[in-house]
Structure 1
Amino acid sequence: MASIELKNVIKRYGKGKTANQVIHGVNAHIADGEFIVIVGPSGCGKSTLLRMVAGLEEITEGDICIGGRVVNQLEPAERDIAMVFQNYALYPHMSVFDNMAYGLKIAKVPVDDIKSRVDKAAKILELGPYLQRKPRELSGGQRQRVAMGRAIVRQPQVFLFDEPLSNLDAKLRAQTRLEIQKLHRELGITSLFVTHDQVEAMTLAQRMIVMNGGVMEQFGTPEEVYTRPATTFVASFIGSPPMNLLKDAPDAKPGVITGIRPEHLDITPSGWALQVEAVEMLGAERLVYGRWAHSATDQLVIIRTEEAHAVPVLGTTIHVTPRADRLHAFDAATGKRMMTA
């Protein structure tokens, strides 16, 4: 196992005035044994950052250290990492055992050691009954576990996951997330996990890096990122539904965007007046969408309520009151966090 240090990491494609910079000076220290999730929308640079750690992309500027060793000039095979991709990339003509053992055979690991490593990984991933099957005889979730098993037997210092659950359906994604959490608890190997799914990020991460346009917007625990977003981008990206960002809330100072989570708005006899436009029923809770007609920007506000509340009638006016200790303030010019009321 090893720590990972990203020191002012920059990536550009091309040279001179036509160069396209896609990673803008990322700095992060990842402790030995941490599980870090890199999350952000498509094209934000998260996979590029991961591929630079893996050695699959060259670094334009800065340093990447693994276990205290600068690895900028090292080939992927020399970095002592194992990578799990979105595409399982299994050999269709090989059994599960042979797929998991293939890299060790190429490295000329002794046969007994190979069997011991594969059997141990198969036990952890509950693949024991399937070792003699071909990939076509497995479900999508089982194939992904085989891909993870192939990484485990390498016994690397670092695991790198590049959107490994994207090809699974919702039920399998949830199940595999639990398996990955269990795997990390048992092995304790430093891990970087890339995803565009903020639910995946919140449930898996010990800490998370939120990327936007090649910039690291925030690096913190899921609780820190959710309760104290560093920017309006983080506030709007993390959370489902996202935080309400109001440009001209009552009592707000000029140049300030007021943020409030949907669950921190209470329906009350008086307060902000909203015209109900839609209601979504979500089992034990519901989302109410209200148009703030008094706002100069005619904004839509989302309220999360429990099933105990009466269902608002579409087209009627309701009043809501924000919880004062849950208000957030962001600079309208920079989008950066200013304070929490």
Structure 2
Amino acid sequence: MASITLRNVVKRYGAGKTVNKVIHDISANITDGEFVVIVGPSGCGKSTLLRMVAGLEEISEGEISIGPRVVNNLEPAERDIAMVFQNYALYPHMSVFDNMAYGLKIAKVPMGEIKTRVDKAAKILEIGSFLTRKPRELSGGQRQRVAMGRAIVRQPQVFLFDEPLSNLDAKLRAQTRLEIQKLHRELGITSLFVTHDQVEAMTLAQRMIVMNAGRMEQFDTPENVYNHPASAFVASFIGSPPMNLLKKGPNAAHGGPPDAILGIRPEHLTLGTDGWPVQVETVELLGAERLVHARLGDELLTIRTDEATPAPPVAGIAHVLPHPGRLHWFDASTGRRLDVT
């Protein structure tokens, strides 16, 4: 196992007037054995960053180290990493055993050692009964476990996951997330996991890198990212539904700068008889909870309530109160978090 260190990493395509900078001066230290998720919207540069760690993309500036070695000029095969992709990349004519063993055979690992490693990985992933099957005989979730097994048998220093759950349905995604968590607990291998799904990021990460337009907005634990977002972008991206961001809200009344953006999460608003008057537009029933969508002036506001709270009438006026100590403030020009006491 090994740490991963990024020092002022930059990626550019083109040159001169046509240059396109897609990764902007990213520095981060991922500790030995840590599971870090890189999350952000499509096109933010998260997969490009992962591919630079893997050696599949060249670095324009900066330095990447895996353990004590600077790997900028090393080929992927020399970096002691294993990648898991979203498309499985299994050989259709080979059995599950042969798919998992293929890289070891190429490396001329003795057959006895290959069998030991494959059997151990198959046991961890609960695919021991599938070893003689071909990929076409497996479900999507089983194929993804085979792809992970192929990575495990290599016994790398680092796992790199590039949106590995994207091709699975919602139920399989949730199940496979649990399997990946269990896998990391058992193996403890340093892991970088890329996803656009913020729920996936929150449930898997020990720490997470939130990216936006090639920049690292925040690198922190899921709890801190959710409870103390470093920018208005993070606040709006992490959370379902996202944080309410009010540009013309009642800021001064709550001790915030009058020209700042006021943030409040839907679950930190309470319906009552006092507070901000809002015009109710729709009410979503989601089983054990409701989402009330309303307007405060000309800004949209979402309130999360439980099933025991009576739903306000649609098109009627309701009142909401923010929870004390749960307000967030962001600079209107930069979007960065403001510490307001």
Give the shorter-chain TM-score range.
over 0.9
Segments of structure 2 that go 5 or more residues without pairing to the other structure are none
Partner of 2:284: 280
1:253 Cα offset (Å)? 2.5
5 Å-filtered alignment, 1:93-112, equals 93-112=93-112
Residue 326 of structure 1 aligns to a residue whose secondary structure is coil
Are 1:254 and 2:269 an aligned pair?
no
SS of 1:147's equivalent in the other structure is helix
Relative to the length of structure 2, the TM-score reads: 0.98
Instruction: State the partner residue of 2:11.
Output: 11
Query: Separation in 1 of the partners of 2:18 and 2:283?
Result: 49
Given that 1:255 and 1:333 are in contact with CA atoms closer than 8 Å, whether structure 2 keeps it comes out as no
Q: TM-score, normalised to structure 1's length?
A: 0.98
- Kindly report structure 1 stretches of 4+ aligned residues shifted beyond 2 Å: 252-255
Whole-Å separation in 2 of the counterparts to 1:68 and 1:83: 20
CA distance in 2, matches of 1:283, 1:110: 55
Note the alpha carbon deviations across 1:90-117, whole angstroms, 9 max, x for none. 0001000000000000000000000000
Q: How far off is 1:340 after superposition?
A: 5.2
* Residue segments in structure 1 that go unaligned for 5+ positions in a row: none
Post-superposition offset of 1:18 = 1.5
Distance 1:326 1:195 in 2: 28
The equivalent of 2:314 in structure 1 is 314
Change (3 A) 1:167 1:129: same
The Cα shift of 1:54 comes to 0.1
What SS is found at the alignment partner of 2:339?
strand
TM-superposed CA distance for 1:311, in Å, is 1.3
Q: Given residue 23 of structure 1, which amino acid in structure 2 is its aligned partner?
A: I
DSSP-derived class of the 2:53 partner: helix
The correspondence of residues 1-341 of structure 1 with structure 2, limited to 5 A, is: 1-250=1-250, 251=252, 252-293=256-297, 298-339=298-339
Kept in 2: contact 1:4–1:68 (CA 8 A): no
Is contact 1:327–1:340 with CA below 8 Å preserved after alignment?
Answer: no
Matched residue type, 2:74: L
Identity %: 77
What is the alpha-carbon distance in structure 1 between the residues aligned to residue 185 and residue 214 of structure 2? Answer: 31
Cα distance in 2 for residues equivalent to 1:89 and 1:72? 26
- Tell me how far apart the structure 1 counterparts of residues 284 and 315 of structure 2 sit (CA, whole Å): 15
For the residues of structure 2 that align with 1:83 and 1:45, how far apart are their CA atoms? 17
| AA partner of residue 262 (structure 1) | P
Deviation digits for residues 60-91 of structure 1, max 9, x if unmatched?
Answer: 00000000210000000000000000110100
